[in-house]
Amino acid sequence: MSLEMCILASGSSGNSIYIASNNTRVLIDAGLSAKQVAVRLEQIGVAPESINGICVSHEHGDHVAGIRVLQKRHRIPVYANAGTLNGIRRQPKSHEIAAKVFQTGAAFEIGDIAIEPFSVPHDAYEPVGFRLQAGGTRIGVVTDLGMGTALIREKLRGCQAIIVESNHDEDLLREAPRPWPLKQRIRSRQGHLSNIDAARLITDSATDALEHVFLAHLSSDCNTPDTAMRTVASQLRLDGLSHINLEISHAHQISTMWRPGMKHVGQASCLSAP
């Protein structure tokens, strides 16, 4: 028994990740419309009604936009901690959402997948990352955070695949036509990781088990896929981590389907890129 994973969408316009074992299917967040989530699931041959649970990382709209309709239409259970649920229910119509409440730091199970939520620094009520495990496969998910912490590095160690935020290039953010307070929020310890920060978190967390890294939540105007890939790949080469495949996730298309031991070609094998 192992896990497979596909990023349905990643970016400020919406985030959702599909992770499945032999017997269980879950989503991490559902920040697209319910219709778009269904469309992207169908692209990988998965019916929305077969999803066994949606685990919510935090209450921001680009992570929860489709949850209410998905639950109402397909009766999908929703899992969130108390802080996130409080934040969700402050939004229009979201009081209708019924959620199973988990405790940050306490593992729980959906089917045969063990899920461990852990605290991350971000400007939300009670934001979390997740480590998911089935059989001998572990996947780590940290998509919105302002800095790496010892706890986050600990939870990512030993994972075969991780999804990590690589939100902005520091120079592009500095030059972007955005209000200064917004730039400061993004750069803060409760904001978002830069490409350099993402690279450092990966290298600090990597073990020989790590096969694949998805770079997630790229800013549309303060980053580019080429810039993120080049920055992170360069740091990983310097640190002798040439065994790791890198892949950019996108807002408007699904990623490859990752499974343990897969050999990727093309974009994902970029550690030799200039």
Q: Which two tokens stand for residue 244?
A: 């790791």
Q: What is the structure's pLDDT at 1?
A: 62
Report percent pLDDT > 90 for the chain: 90
Q: What is the structure's pLDDT at 80?
A: 98
Residue listed under structure tokens 């030059």 = 175
Cα separations (Å) of 217 from 60, 220, 247, 264? 13, 9, 12, 21
CA pair distance 252, 236, nearest whole angstrom: 27
In order of their start, the domains of the chain are 4-268 (3.60.15.10)
Task: Encode pLDDT of 40-86 as tens digits.
Answer: 999 999 999 999 999 999 999 999 999 999 999 999 999 999 999 99
pTM: 0.94
Helix axes 225-238, 195-205, angle to 10 degrees: 40
**Which sign does the torsion angle of CA 148, 152, 156, 157 carry?**
positive
DSSP state of 268: G
pLDDT band at 259 (very low <50, low <70, confident <90, very high): very high
Task: Encode pLDDT of 138-169 as tens digits.
Answer: 999 999 999 999 999 999 999 999 999 999 99
CA pair distance 88, 93, nearest whole angstrom: 9
